[in-house]
Amino acid sequence: MAVQHGEPGYFADQSMIRRVMSKRAVGVTYGLRALVVGAVHPLLYVGTAEHTSHRDTPYTRLATTGALFEAVFLGSKAEADRALAFTRRKHSQVVGTLPEDAGPHHPAGTAYAAHDPQLMFMTMAFTFDSAEVMHDTLVRELTPTEREDLYQDYVRWGELFGMPREAAPADYPAFRRYFDDYLSSGELFLTDEARLVGSYLAGQRRAYRLAPPAEQVGTALYLLVQGSLPPRIRQLYGMAWGITDELAYRTLSTGIRTAHRAPPLAPRVLAGTLAGPSTPSYQLLARREQHMVRTGKPSMPGVDPRNWVQRNLAV
């Protein structure tokens, strides 16, 4: 889904959501991070995993979701409306109950639905939090006013997807208190599949090596995702993270932030490289995955391509 420029969208050109999400350093990293962190919410993870048509092509699902989100962030109203209508059709099918216990707060039989206001808010929360963190990490720290404006834009973004306004905290400080309390609570739980899929998405587990320079790009991307995770999330995944990892992460992220200051000798080159839609990068990732699957290599070895119902009907 190509994003067009010059046509009005739901967000003004100078809105914070457009300014942040048009940074490619944010666009190519926030989605992976949001999925890795969001996997600790069993209702969101299981609801998505049980109803997706991309269980065997998870990166294609990530690319599709990224393109849909970007159409609403950066596209015209016509593009955004097409993305929103597509998402509504898909979400209408996401209704069910947890087939198995997923921690003490989510017993088997707990109901979920894509249109549940709380689940819609949590989807927005994981997305917003990751965009905010990756911008602070890779571009520059937002000012308090910018942070509030970005949050309010994201609330509006959630509303476009159907989230009731009252499902979200009224302002950024209230959101940050709520979300940080959630991340430190006992509600977080990784199912076995969520832990496996999340470990691939974060680069903790890697099944294949890629040809240069894709291998080096992937290694850098995974370092940025892992380094940006809250320590508790890394702990839940059992990710080893030592001084050497932290130094490498800080060196890489500092270098990317420095590039965004646009040295005066090459501002135009940097502007074209560092800003713009990330959908082409998503599409490249999806094509690589689809080629791999066609040649008989599972995208994530060990992840069953069948959902829970299909697995148990086969028994």
Domain extent listing, the chain: 17-303
> Which residue carries 């148990």 as its tokens?
312
Looking at residue 268, its pLDDT comes to: 57
Q: Which two tokens stand for residue 112?
A: 């979920």
Percentage of the residues of the chain whose pLDDT score is greater than 90: 77
Q: 267: pLDDT confidence band, cut at 50, 70 and 90?
A: low
Q: Which residues lie closer than 8 Å to 135 by C-beta, 6 or more apart?
A: 20, 23, 25, 26, 142
The mean pLDDT value of the chain amounts to 92
Per-residue pLDDT band for 2 (boundaries 50, 70, 90) equals very low
Q: How confident is the model at residue 210 (pLDDT cuts 50, 70, 90)?
A: confident
Look at residue 173 and tell me whether its pLDDT is greater than 70. Answer: yes
CB-based contact 62:282 (threshold 8 Å): yes
Average pLDDT estimate for 22-48: 96
Cα distances (angstroms) measured from residue 189 to each of 102, 115, 182, 221: 7, 22, 12, 25
Phi, psi dihedral angles at 286 (to 5 degrees): -65, -45
Q: Which amino acid is it at 265? A: L
Task: Compute the distance between CA of residue 259 and CA of residue 224 in angstroms, rounded to an integer.
Answer: 16
pLDDT at residue 208, rounded to an integer = 85
Mean pLDDT lowest among 37-51, 126-140, 217-231, 252-266: 252-266
Report cis status (omega within 30 of 0) of the bond before 213: yes
Give the Å distances, CA to CA, from 137 to 30, 143, 152, 254, 289.
Answer: 11, 13, 21, 8, 28
- Sign of CA pseudo-dihedral 47, 53, 56, 59: negative
Please give the C-alpha separations between residue 36 and each of 30, 117, 180, 306, in angstroms, as whole numbers: 10, 22, 16, 21
**Dihedral Cα 88, 40, 226, 231, nearest 10 deg:** 140
Q: What is the pLDDT of residue 270?
A: 56
DSSP reduced 3-state for 97: strand
Of the pLDDT bands very low, low, confident and very high (cuts 50, 70, 90), residue 214 is confident
pLDDT band for position 30 (cuts 50, 70, 90): very high
Supply the pLDDT for residue 305. Answer: 87
Mean pLDDT of 68-91: 96
The pLDDT tens digits for 111-161 are 999 999 999 999 999 999 999 999 999 999 999 999 999 999 999 999 999
For the chain, percent of residues with pLDDT exceeding 70: 94
- Tell me if 202 sits within 8 A of 234, measured CB to CB: no
